[in-house]
Amino acid sequence: MSDHRLPLLLEPAELRQHIGSDQVLIVDLSNAQVHQQYHVPGAVHLDYGHIIKNQPPIVGLVPEATELAAMFTALGLRPDSQVVAYDEEGGGKAARFLWTLDVTGHPHGSLLNGGLQAWLNSDNPITNQSRGITPGDYTVRPHEQALADQEYVRSHLGRADLAIVDARSPAEYQGQDLRTRRGGHIPGAVNIEWTRVLDHRRNMRLKSEDELRQLFETAGVIADKQIVTYCQSHHRSALIYFVLKYLGYPRVKGYPGSWSDWGNSPDTPIET
């Protein structure tokens, strides 16, 4: 396994071959009640609230490095662990966890395509037994290439080589669904609601590579640009971040805090 890394996007049949491997750490970000009923054998549960930090009115920030290190250690994460993440909702929570691994320097993370729904509907084994965890001693090494903050976005607005993707609903994007002090969107952002990357006919798997490329390229989100993804908190937009990374886009950043940060700031430029 040390010479063979798992692909970024993993099908249920591929994951099934690695159940029981001590180098593969399967992380379930489904609701706790769902995990207690059934989960992929060997999966450890991680509550989504543990991978975000809220400072109202701003939500979805990155926890401190010491907190993340303690959480990763408790999960049994090791520097060489192949992480496979999934959830029950289409991949937003799992993708946010994988993005968190990116910004903390862990290079080996994969998304289970279709998550729990695809796993259950592919006649795969399930269990309600908890996995024993051997805590490690994990050191977080901040790797901010995948992270954008308000200052970064402000300083890059208007640049021809920047594309901003707003993963919220059209109503939020247009300022009709108001969830912050101010409504609208970051100037120049294109609206690609996060669920548009999912194929609901295939158990919430991602759409085909060709469909995904067309979706983004038609919106002007092309691979030679610096991409920033955001939503309300960088939950939904984490899946967009993951998809662009999966498609091979070399420069993609996620904006933690997202619109809860931008829309609650008194002087940020806004379009509606």
Instruction: Name which of 243, 251, 238 is nearest 51 in CA terms.
Output: 238
The alpha-carbon radius of gyration of the chain (Å, integer) is: 18
Residue 83 and residue 93: Cα distance in Å, rounded?
14
Helix (H) or strand (E) holding 27: strand 24-28
Is there a catalytic annotation at residue 231? Answer: yes
Extended beta strands in 42-166, E state: 44-45, 53-55, 58-61, 82-86, 109-112, 162-166
Cβ contact 167:231 at 8 Å: yes
Alpha carbon separation from 51 to 23, 103, 111 (Å, rounded): 22, 12, 16
Marked catalytic residue, from 153, 231, 240, 244: 231
- Before 79, cis peptide (omega within 30)? no
Closest CA to 242 of 231, 233, 253: 253
Question: What are the catalytic residues?
Answer: 231
